[in-house]
C-alpha cells in the first residue's frame, strides 16, 4: 500500500508519444501496470502496444498524429479530453537519430532531426502545459533527452542528435521554472545505450566500440527505465522539477 500510494498512477491519464515500439512501448506498458490509462500518440499507430496493455488488464488506446504538426497535436489532445476527461502525464518520447558526418549531412536532414526531437517535444509540452494550466491540473511532463545531450558519442558522428538532446535538457529546465507556480513538474530522462532496435540494429563495429566504454559492460534494457519514469510521473517526485535523470550505467561519468 505504501508503494502504491507513492508511485501508483490509478486514475491518471498518461500520454506516451512514439509508443508503438522500443522504449516508448515498454514505458507505456509500465505506466499501465502502475494504474494509468495510457494514450499512445504516433504517426503510424500503436495497435500492438494497446493489445499488450489490454491483455495484461490495463486500459489504453492509440491516436495517429505527427507531433511536429500543431493542428494534429491539438486535435489529438482534444480527442483525449473528450474521451478520457483529463491529461495528467506526458512522456514526450518520439525521436529519431541519424549517424552521419556533419560535412555530409544536408540541412534538410539536420532540420528533420531537430524538428522531431526538439520542436516536436516543445509542441507537445506547450499544448499539454496549456491544458494543465487552464484546468488546474498539477501534472507531470517528462521529456526524452539522452546522455548525448551531455557527452559526445564516439566513434559515430551524430551532431544533429546531440544538439537536439542538449536543447531538450535546457528546454526542460526552462519550462520547469516557468510553470512551477502552476504545480506542473517538468523533467527529462537521459538514457545511455539501451537495447532497442535503434541501438541494436547498428553496424557491429559501432557496438564493438561502445562496449569497452561502458563501465557495466552491457547495454541497458528498456525495462530498466521504467522505475525512473514512474518516479517522475507519480506523486513520489513532488519536489523534483527541472531535473535531468541520467540512466546510462555510468557511461557519462568517464
Of 172, 236, 223, 171, which Cα lies nearest the Cα of 194?
A: 223
Q: Which residues on adjacent β-strands are paired with residue 141?
A: 90, 186
Cα–Cα distances in angstroms (integers) from residue 34 to residues 12, 109, 152, 233, in the given order: 10, 38, 35, 10
**What is the set of active-site residues?**
146, 161, 165
Cell of 56: 495484461
Nearest-5° angle of CA 98, CA 103, CA 109?
A: 40
Cell of 41: 500518440
Q: Which residues on adjacent β-strands are paired with residue 194?
A: 220
Residue 17 DSSP one-character state: E
Tell whether the torsion through CA atoms of 200, 203, 204 and 205 is positive or negative: negative
Task: Give the list of residues 6+ apart from residue 81 with CB closer than 8 angstroms, or none.
Answer: 87, 131
Residue 220 DSSP one-character state: B
* Residue 164 near residue 118 (C-beta atoms within 8 A): yes
Q: Burial code of 57-67, b = ≥16 C-beta within 10 A, e = fewer?
A: ebebbbbebbb
Amino acid at each position: 500500500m505504501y508503494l502504491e500510494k507513492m508511485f501508483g498512477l490509478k486514475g491518471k491519464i498518461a500520454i506516451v508519444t512514439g509508443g508503438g515500439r522500443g522504449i516508448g512501448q515498454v514505458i507505456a506498458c509500465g505506466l499501465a501496470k502502475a494504474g494509468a490509462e495510457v494514450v499512445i500518440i504516433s504517426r503510424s499507430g500503436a495497435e500492438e502496444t494497446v493489445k499488450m496493455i489490454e491483455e495484461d488488464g490495463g486500459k489504453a488506446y492509440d491516436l495517429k498524429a505527427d507531433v511536429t504538426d500543431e493542428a494534429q497535436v491539438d486535435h489529438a489532445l482534444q480527442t483525449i479530453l473528450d474521451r478520457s476527461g483529463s491529461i495528467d502525464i506526458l512522456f514526450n518520447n518520439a525521436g529519431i537519430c541519424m549517424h552521419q558526418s556533419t560535412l555530409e549531412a544536408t540541412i534538410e536532414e539536420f532540420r528533420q532531426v531537430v524538428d522531431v526531437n526538439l520542436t516536436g517535444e516543445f509542441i507537445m509540452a506547450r499544448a499539454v502545459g496549456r491544458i494543465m494550466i487552464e484546468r488546474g491540473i498539477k501534472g507531470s511532463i517528462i521529456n526524452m533527452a539522452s546522455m548525448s545531450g551531455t557527452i559526445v558519442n564516439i566513434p559515430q558522428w551524430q551532431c544533429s542528435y546531440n544538439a537536439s538532446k542538449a536543447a531538450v535538457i535546457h528546454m526542460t529546465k526552462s519550462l520547469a521554472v516557468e510553470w512551477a507556480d502552476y504545480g506542473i513538474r517538468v523533467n527529462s530522462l537521459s538514457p545511455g545505450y539501451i537495447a532497442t532496435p535503434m541501438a541494436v540494429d547498428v553496424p557491429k563495429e559501432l557496438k564493438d566500440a561502445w562496449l569497452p566504454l561502458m563501465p557495466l559492460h552491457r547495454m541497458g534494457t528498456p525495462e530498466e527505465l521504467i522505475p525512473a519514469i514512474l518516479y517522475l510521473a507519480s506523486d513520489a517526485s513532488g519536489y523534483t522539477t527541472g531535473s535531468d535523470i541520467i540512466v546510462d550505467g555510468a557511461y557519462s561519468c568517464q
